[in-house]
A and B are shown apart, each in its own frame.
Chain A
Amino acid sequence: MIAAAFVLLSLAGFAFLYRLLIGPSVADRVVALDGLLMVVICGILVDVVDGTSVVSIDTVLVVSVVAFVGTGVLARLVERQGG
């Protein structure tokens, strides 16, 4: 079941990466980057469930804060110079 979770997460990661590469506007890329960081958070958590992880669970907190701050800053960028 952990393997199935990793397969689902990697498909979602490719979907966000596709939108990040082709996205017509900067705003599309910001949305895709935020979603990609969600995939990273979920990947770390699934790795913790797997049991053999060397990554601490506190990393999730850091990635979550970085995702929020990045989205806020890039939204300001979109608002200032257009998408």
Chain B
Amino acid sequence: MNVVDVIARAFVVFGCSLILLAGIGIVRFHHVLARMHAAAKAPTLGILSIALGVVLSVRTAAAAFTLLLVVMLQLVTSPVGSHLLGRAIYRKVEGSVDSIDELARDEGRVEP
């Protein structure tokens, strides 16, 4: 096991600890929007780090291309899915969690 393998495994362990951070956040936070905040952001960087570790460990062009596709897909779809779910939560589960409601102001439902 040479130096590159050690670096690759370090990247993998770092990414897994970011995933665990998202898990801790989803258990500990109190609002559903706060839990979504924890679960939407940390795993993206975690998957990016783990994919970097896999590319450094496997070292083939096919694996690098596939993982580039996975990371790009993750970077594009994670905000889109979070936006869809956040809008659904805002409309049906709980609205604004503090006294400021920018979306109601921008849609003209309340006076600014």
Specify which chain B residues have a CB less than 8 angstroms from the CB of A42 in the assembled complex.
15-16, 19, 43, 46-47, 50
Q: Is A65 at the interface (CB under 8 A from chain B)? A: yes
Residue of B nearest to A38 (CB): B43
A residues near B (Cβ < 8 Å) are 1-2, 4-6, 8-9, 11-16, 18-19, 24-25, 27-28, 30-32, 34-35, 38-39, 41-42, 45-46, 48-49, 51, 57-58, 60-61, 64-65, 67-68, 71-72, 74-76, 78-79, 81-83
* Chain A at the B interface: SS class: helix
Please give, as numbers and ranges, the residues of chain B lying within 8 Å of A78 by CB-CB distance. Answer: 85, 88-89, 92-93
The 9 closest A-B pairs by CB, nearest first: A15-B23, A12-B23, A83-B93, A79-B88, A68-B77, A71-B81, A75-B84, A8-B16, A78-B88
Please judge, given known A-B contacts A5-B13, A16-B23, whether A31 and B36 are in contact too, CB under 8 Å.
Answer: yes
Q: Can you list 25 A-B pairs with a CB-CB distance of less than 8 A?
A: A8-B13, A9-B16, A9-B20, A12-B23, A13-B23, A15-B26, A19-B26, A27-B32, A27-B88, A31-B26, A31-B39, A35-B26, A38-B47, A41-B47, A42-B47, A48-B58, A49-B53, A49-B54, A60-B67, A68-B77, A68-B81, A71-B81, A76-B88, A78-B92, A78-B93
Which A residues are CB-close (under 8 A) to B88? 27, 75-76, 78-79, 83
* B38 CB, nearest partner CB in chain A, Å: 9
